[in-house]
Amino acid sequence: MCSMAVAEGLEAAALVLVSYPLHPPGRPDRSRTEHFPSIGAPCLFVSGTRDNFGTPEELESATAAIPSRVTHHWIDGGDHGLRRKDAQVAEVVLDWISAL
């Protein structure tokens, strides 16, 4: 929802998208990316390498439509819920925000 709000004009210094649901599991034909070309803020996507809402390859391909700087961070072995990965996600986000 936040990425859609920014695409529609909500001002934001940056977007952090954790486990972005690129498409419903098993339904890559139902992509949730129509608004990507309108995102004007730097973006950090943090996702698991085993996320069934979008593979790393699918997400990297889709986010190429975002005209702002896009950074991907992959949590090895993580699924969509990134269970027991909270500390790792928080560290990645803090490092990225600190570098802006």
Contacts of 45 (CB under 8 A, 6+ apart): 17, 20, 59, 63, 70, 71, 72, 73
* Predicted pLDDT at 35: 98
Could you tell me if 88 and 75 are in contact, meaning their C-beta atoms sit under 8 angstroms apart?
A: yes
CA separation for the pair 38, 68 (Å, rounded): 9
pLDDT, tens digit (0-9, with 9 covering 90-100), for 43-91: 999 999 999 999 999 999 999 999 999 999 999 999 999 999 999 999 9
pLDDT at 37: 98
Q: Whole-number mean pLDDT of the chain? A: 97
pTM across the whole model = 0.95
Sheet with 43-48, side-by-side order of all strands? 15-18, 43-48, 70-75
Model pLDDT, residue 91: 98
pLDDT score of 80? 97
Give the start-to-end residue ranges of the domains of the chain.
Answer: 57-100
